[in-house]
Amino acid sequence: MNSFDILKIVLVLIGAPILGCLIAGIDRKLTARLQGRVGPPLLQPYYDVVKLFKKDNMIVHPAQNFYVVIYVVFVILSLLMLVFGMDMLMIIFVYTISSVALIVGGMSTGSPYARVGSSREIMAILSYEPILILYALAIYLLTGTFKLSALSTLSSPLLAYIPLIFISMLFVMNIKFKKSPFDYSTSHHAHQELVKGMLTEYSGPGLGGIEIGHFYEYVFLLGLMFMFWSSNIIIGLLLAVIAFLFVIIMDNITARVYWQWMLKVSWSILLIISIANILIVYYFYFKPA
Amino acid sequence: MTLAKSPWIIHVNVNSCNGCDIEVVACLTPLYDAERFGVLNIGTPKQADIMVVTGSVNYKNVNVLKNLYNQVPDPKVVLAVGACASTGGIFHDCYNVIGGVDQVIPVDAYVPGCCPRPEAILDGVVAALSILENKKKGNVKGKEVKMKGNEVPSNA
């Protein structure tokens, strides 16, 4: 590990939450404008986090906030692995641990709302995970390795080979950003039915930690979209912005649905077009070693 | 200053006629847009800073109110919205009504009116913000309100 790598790590650790905070702020501002409101200041998510760290720490049991630490650490780890172009399959596994940490944390509190939210989050993981795995598989078929750094050896950008998986990934973004119509595991808008879902029993510093984890997670998820055109930074960023705007617009024009509906959509339409894309890649581009 | 920049509200309805509740919800609509002050209507008491209570307290829901109050982490502010929450209002001498919210839990700010206009409620929230800051500065903690098994007096 040379000094340039260390600089990269420091940059990610400091820069990613700032970027994620701005992303969350733009999200709230845009949503407000789409609803004809003035909306909060751009730095509102930052104010929220600072406030949460000033509040009392009210927990159900001591292990509860430890799950938050696991969540944040593994999200940062998966983001770092993405930045260093490591094994895509490993990134997915590490990222899954972070999601599972929140689920276990929610389940451990014993609140019925947290349990409902956690079990719905399991359904969400069930519906997006196959698409992520197919994304990794497509990278393997094209380059002969799961390493993201091998993407630079391709003659054209990833989007040219797997446009259908790109469409599926847009919906995965929607699920992972926890935006409508898939915002049923935890949401600002669902108090009547599930209070705060998975995060019901978190308060103060614990919730602040989760918010910081979300900032890293936003950057990580948009980084996954960036990988579709990683050879050109500007077009790659443009893809990330398109994915982000897609998520916000979908959030504002759709209503929350049953989890069964989401499972049907992802396991029928999204999975089928992804598999079709894999078959195309397999027959036209795959060169067995 | 950051406490005042992001007040999250939990809205508690104790036996309200829904008039004040409609007005509280109206604060979130595009016309009044409470979110420009960072106000979020949050579902769980554990993440709230300001407790907005509407309605007069009765024997059926007094323990619910106490329970919710105890679950809001410090620093916290209680805002009584409407005539009923402030004094008991038109229902003050009903056989089942205890009275205003301040009979049960400590109230920091009152918004009078039946029902108060959304502007008045927003003013109440803004007034609560400085109280919130002062509580943080003075490290004022809300005392735990004890719950009783049977609140109904024998002569009722």
Instruction: Tell me the nearest-neighbour CA distance from A113 into chain B, angstroms.
Output: 10
Q: Which residues pair with B57 in a beta bridge?
A: B99
Interchain proximity B43–A47, CB inside 8 Å: no
| Residue B154 covered by a domain | no
Chain B residue with minimum CA distance to A194: B43
| Residue B29 covered by a domain | yes
Whether residue A276 has pLDDT greater than 90: yes
Identify which of B2, B3, B36 has the shortest CB distance to residue A39. Answer: B36
CA distances from A40 to A31, A47, A138, A177 (A): 10, 11, 41, 19
Number of other residues whose CB lies within 10 A of the CB of residue B21? 19
Q: How far apart are CA A52 and CA A206, in angstroms?
A: 8
Average pLDDT (A102-128) is 89
Number of other residues whose CB lies within 10 A of the CB of residue B86? 23
Chain B residue with minimum CA distance to A54: B3
Instruction: Tell me the nearest-neighbour CA distance from A127 into chain B, angstroms.
Output: 27
Interface of B with A in 26-65 (CB under 8 A): 30, 33, 35-38, 40-44, 46-47, 49
Identify which of B6, B37, B43 has the shortest CB distance to residue A48. Answer: B6
| Residue B156 covered by a domain | no
The enclosing H or E element of B150 equals none
Number of domains in chain B: 1
Chain A residue with minimum CA distance to B72: A58
Q: Which residues constitute the domain of residue B7?
A: 2-137
Chain A contacts of B140, Cβ < 8 Å? none
Give the pLDDT confidence score for residue A184 in this predicted structure: 81
Identify which of B5, B33, B73 has the shortest CB distance to residue A55. Answer: B73
Chain B contacts of A47, Cβ < 8 Å? 2, 5-6, 38
CA distances from A45 to A26, A50, B39 (A): 10, 9, 12
Residue-averaged pLDDT of chain A: 89
Number of A–B residue contacts, CB under 8 Å = 81
Whether residue A74 has pLDDT greater than 90: yes
Instruction: Tell me the nearest-neighbour CA distance from B96 into chain A, angstroms.
Output: 27
Average pLDDT (A66-72) is 93
CATH code where residue B50 lies = 3.40.50.12280
Give the pLDDT confidence score for residue B154 in this predicted structure: 55
Give the pLDDT confidence score for residue B1 in this predicted structure: 65
Residue A59: which pLDDT band, with cuts at 50, 70 and 90? confident
Helices (H), ranges, chain A: 3-34, 44-54, 64-83, 88-109, 112-143, 158-161, 163-176, 191-194, 205-226, 233-253, 259-264, 271-284
Instruction: Tell me the nearest-neighbour CA distance from A128 into chain B, angstroms.
Output: 27
> How many Cα neighbours within 13 Å face the side chain of A216?
25
Percent of chain A with pLDDT over 90: 47
Residue A30: which pLDDT band, with cuts at 50, 70 and 90? very high
pLDDT < 70 regions, chain B: 1, 148-156
